[in-house]
Amino acid sequence: MKEQESIPVTKVARSAKFVKTGIQIGGNYIKHYSKKIFNPELSRDELNEDNAADIYNSLSELKGSALKIAQMLSMDKNVLPRAYVDKFSLSQYNAPPLSGPLIVRTFTKLFGKAPDLIFDKFNLRSENAASIGQVHKAVLNGKELAVKIQYPGVGDSISSDIKMVKPIAFRLLGMSEKEFTVYVKEVEERLLEETDYELEVQRSIEISQACSSLENVVFPTYYPALSGHRVITMDWMNGLHLKEFLQTDPSQALRNKIGQALWDFYNFQQHELRKVHADPHPGNFLITPDERLAIIDFGCIKQLPDDFYYPFFSLVSADVLADKAKTIDAFRKLEMIWPTDTPQQVEFYYKAYKEMIELFAKPYASETFDFSKEEYFDRLYAYGDQIARMPEFKQARGVKHFIYINRTNFGLYNILHDLRAQVKTDKYKPHLQAANP
């Protein structure tokens, strides 16, 4: 993959890139409608592919929060046309890397020394490049290390980038102004945390120690003395990303083993730690040669406050869902039903959200769940598509915590579906005793 010699870091330079992309998208629409004059039956597939390619190429050069949002959208498989999902998902594994000289300059500015003066060996060619930073392989005292270096200007451009992504979000997703504002505020908070590498090292050590007793889950050791605000050094972990792993045609038993490790990792955090690794895209995991799940990135952590955790997870209890009054009470606490709603609106949202929660809670309803079931995911995607088209859901509802918790759990479900894993879902179940504090 061709290396990138520079990144636009100023607001003016990044804005110019967005404007250029907007012009390209406009040209794609003109081309599409010109063809449609002669072929009224023409589908939007080519238009979607052209737009996806132009937007992805632009965001890849900008790096940072713009590319991160594309990565997040690629996980919402029932939101975007397939062309966008396929293109944006590239950022989960590999974006165009920065050139060696630019990395040396960046490292020296952040760390005070060139990397070859700190490590015995440092490979200037990146092993992996994603949205916020890229990873290089290094050796120190005979130990192989992964050194993650944040792209220049990423932390300083979050707010302005998000504003510039706004027209794309309106056009592609049909978001309302209010919905975008709620979405952006939560995303901006998480992205600001995600660009603070000192915070990431602290959380990585804390959560990996708390999860150390989980079966078949492993973590790298982190080295604070070799890390900083824009640099993280950790053990190099050997293994395959999910896509590579699935290409080896693993046995069902091994798929189940890795799936179980994922399920335990996420549900232990949600229900025992009340904070969760909220970035479940496949690029953050490796399957090691000894058939364990390695977690290699803790940049995005979402806290689950009690006033969200208890009403939300009370809804996976059959006893609560079977009681209309209790269910409506939970929906009110979660701002899915508003005090200003008429009785007719209360009834409408009660039925709609109950159907959604019943689908979400299905894996919790039995001791084991088979995530290979196509009919389950067909229903899940069809329901998401259905409500996305309903005018009653054009205005954002629900507390801000849904943005990352939905992303986390449905991202987990999608990975387990890709694995076609059968897992025991009765481990680390939700705590319900304080459902009505």
Model pLDDT, residue 150: 86
Model pLDDT, residue 92: 45
Nearest to 80 by CA among 146, 185, 168, 7: 168
| pLDDT band at residue 397 under the 50/70/90 scheme | confident
Say yes or no to pLDDT of 365 above 60. Answer: yes
pLDDT digits (tens, 9 = 90+) for 133-166: 889 999 999 999 999 998 877 777 777 777 766 6
pLDDT digits (tens, 9 = 90+) for 231-250: 999 999 999 999 899 999 99
| pLDDT band at residue 91 under the 50/70/90 scheme | very low
Q: Which of 32-46, 81-95, 412-426 has the highest mean pLDDT?
A: 412-426
Per-residue tokens: 296: 């290699």
Model pLDDT, residue 19: 54
Q: Report CA-CA distances (Å) from 31 to 25, 37, 403.
A: 10, 10, 35
- What count of other Cβ atoms lies within 10 Å of the Cβ of residue 383? 17
Model pLDDT, residue 282: 82
Helix (H, G, I), strand (E, B) or coil at 144: strand
Percent of the chain having pLDDT more than 70?
A: 70
- Determine the Cα–Cα distance for residues 258 and 150; give it in Å rounded to an integer: 30
What one-letter code names the amino acid at 41? E
Q: Is 374 exposed, middle or buried (0-12, 13-18, 19+ CB in 10 A)?
A: exposed
| pLDDT band at residue 411 under the 50/70/90 scheme | confident
DSSP 322-348: T-HHHHHHHHHHTTSS-TT--HHHHHH
Residues in Cβ contact with 279 at an 8 Å cutoff, skipping those fewer than 6 apart:
297, 299, 300
CA quadruple 45, 49, 50, 52: dihedral sign: positive
Say yes or no to pLDDT of 9 above 60. Answer: no
Per-residue tokens: 137: 């392989």
Helix (H, G, I), strand (E, B) or coil at 42: coil
Per-residue tokens: 239: 């293994």
Say yes or no to pLDDT of 307 above 80. Answer: yes
Which neighbouring-strand residues pair with 150?
133
Say yes or no to pLDDT of 89 above 60. Answer: no
pLDDT digits (tens, 9 = 90+) for 101-124: 888 887 888 788 899 999 999 999
Average pLDDT, the chain: 81
Nearest to 195 by CA among 162, 153, 223: 153
| pLDDT band at residue 74 under the 50/70/90 scheme | very low
44-53, 88-97, 190-199, 312-321: which range is least confident on average?
88-97
Which neighbouring-strand residues pair with 144?
139
79-88, 139-148, 388-397, 421-430: which range is least confident on average?
79-88
What one-letter code names the amino acid at 3? E
Say yes or no to pLDDT of 358 above 60. Answer: yes
Model pLDDT, residue 129: 72
Do 221 and 234 form a contact (C-beta atoms < 8 A)?
Answer: yes
- Determine the Cα–Cα distance for residues 402 and 330; give it in Å rounded to an integer: 14
pLDDT digits (tens, 9 = 90+) for 332-354: 999 999 999 999 999 999 999 99
Say yes or no to pLDDT of 75 above 60. Answer: no
- Determine the Cα–Cα distance for residues 185 and 159; give it in Å rounded to an integer: 10
22-26, 204-208, 218-222: which range is least confident on average?
22-26
Strands 293-295 and 217-218: what pairing?
Answer: parallel
Do 5 and 99 form a contact (C-beta atoms < 8 A)?
Answer: yes
Which neighbouring-strand residues pair with 276?
302
Model pLDDT, residue 42: 63
Say yes or no to pLDDT of 436 above 50. Answer: no
Do 73 and 88 form a contact (C-beta atoms < 8 A)?
Answer: yes
Residue 248 Cα to chain centre, angstroms: 25
Conformation bin of residue 238: beta by default, left when phi > 0, alpha when psi is -120 to 50? beta
pLDDT digits (tens, 9 = 90+) for 158-174: 777 777 666 665 555 55
